[in-house]
Amino acid sequence: MRTQKLIRYRIGVSKQFPTTHPRRGEQTFFEEKINNVLMPITEDPILGKKMHTIRANEDGTAFERWEKRFEKINAGEAVLELFHWSGSPYNSKHDGSKQVVFATLTKEDGIGIQKFRVGEFYDEINDIERAYYSIDDRAKFDLLTSTIAK
């Protein structure tokens, strides 16, 4: 009897903040923060915890695509692999960089998907552009809140 091969979906995390980020070049410690959630050693880890990632694409279909993927994960037909690049991202031909998987998650790990909405408005009282976002309570672990952000 042959066993069905699992589908493997991958999400990459950065080792350093990109050049477009205010903290460009600094270490993100995302892998360590994610591992603090998966294999907690202490209730209050020094580096913090990371439980969420926000994914988008130009045509706005990221949520629907990942929702279908999570249906397969929850059905036991797929797993989610988290990885970082060993060198420069997407640069394997030039520097031999490879994807290094540091976690493989299944439905038993309690992973899921939730919609994250972002909007903008002009605050006439304070004469400033503001953004708001809508999420549920689970995101508070990553210090996201559903309050108005500057």
Global confidence as pTM: 0.71
Confidence of residue 39 (pLDDT cuts 50, 70, 90): confident
The pLDDT value recorded for residue 136 is 56
- pLDDT tens-digit profile of 112-127? 887 776 667 777 787 7
Contact 113, 139 (CB under 8 A): no
What dihedral do alpha carbons 66, 16, 50, 135 form, nearest 10°?
Answer: -50
The secondary structure of 114-129 as a DSSP string is ---EEEEEEETTTTEE
Please give the residue that has the higher pLDDT: either 146 or 61.
61
Q: Concatenate the DSSP letters of all residues of 51-73 into one string.
A: -------TTS-HHHHHHHHHHHH
Burial 48-76 (b: 16+ CB within 10 A, else e): ebbbbeeeeeeeeeebeebeebbeebeee
User: Measuring CA to CA, which residue among 62, 66, 105, 84 is closest to residue 13?
Assistant: 84
42 half-sphere exposure, CB direction, 13 A CA radius:
7
